Structure 1
Amino acid sequence: MAKLFSEISPEHKAFIERQRIFFVGSAPLDADGHVNLSPKGYDVLRILSPTEVAYLDLTGSGNETSAHLAENGRITIMFMALEGAPMILRLYGKGRVILPGTSEWEDMAGHFELLPGARQIIAVSLHAVKTSCGFSVPYFSYTGERDTLQKWATAKGEDGLAAYHREKNCTSMDGIPTPLGRQLAGSPDSLV
């Protein structure tokens, strides 16, 4: 049975902290635009309060979530039990992008271990938390983290990552500019 809550309870917090993977969903306003769903690994999500979470976003081949948040702010984060009792938990909110080099980054970065390839922080103000059964989700056992992304980012180095960001992370696949793209272009509205 689905249940709706206005904030993260202590039981929700304990469930979230046990999960090794979560998924982030976002979409552009244009009905013809692409809905994005991204899996996230590593220990990168922090619960800042019952109504605010943030995650350290690592460099990837796209930057869809960032573009969508700059355009409309809508975001859903989903967790699901792959071990133990079944449950799916979704966080609904308005997100914003926090970029390196800003005062907000300096304030927020202390919550995280800054992994190689750290690109931005996504902070989310929640307006709803929803749980549902998850009865059909299969069991999976956690065996460890992949180190591929961290090795790749370390090998690229700062200059290589900056070039990669310029090439792959400045706009969404639908052509929506990202805050990182605006920052790299020196745009005055880069800190949206």
Structure 2
Amino acid sequence: MSYLQMPQTKNSHFVGAPSCRGTPSPNGNGLAMDAADTQEEESIDIDDDDTLEPARTEKRLNYSHEEDIRLASAWLQNSVDSVDGNDRKLDQYWGDVTAMYNSNTPSNRRRNRNQLEIRWDRVKKPVSDFHGCWVRATRVFQSGMSDDQRIEQAHELYASEHGEKPFLLQHIWKVVRHERKWAAYVKKLNKEKETMQTQLVS
């Protein structure tokens, strides 16, 4: 069965430019898909929430560094006052983040709210862990070391504590590291981690 004949389920959609557009087939029997349309790129998680109606494409796209930076910036620039414990306000907050993110995003790269929430949820722990390594490196190696040297030391600490796995999200960390909102967020994450560890021990 061809792609065009396959039944489309609720979750069988893609983000980006309009799908199923091609050039007329030379023999007149239908559409011949462009090579660029049929080439699958990088994948993201697809969700049911299409509130902002991002344009569709058959390409599945990963986040570029520039997109990660815009997501982190939108997260920082929107207030989270009175958000905790209120699902309606949390939805509104992420709606604002999504609107800001998409406001200067090409139509074939737009994301919906749930996709951005999922991305942030995936990056926040490694970025927070690296931030902790950087804080420790800064405290221990304050004198005689440049900022670049402290960051390099933080990378070594991170790798040693994560099975020699390198930290690949420095572009996000550099956006948030000196922000008060990020500091408060890290403090909250650490408190949640400590509470969870206490519950596991008891």
Q: TM-score, normalised by structure 1?
A: 0.28
Relative to its length, the structure with more helix (as a share) is 2
Greater Rg by CA = 2
| Higher strand residue share | 1
| Bigger relative contact order (CA 8 A; separation at least 6) | 1
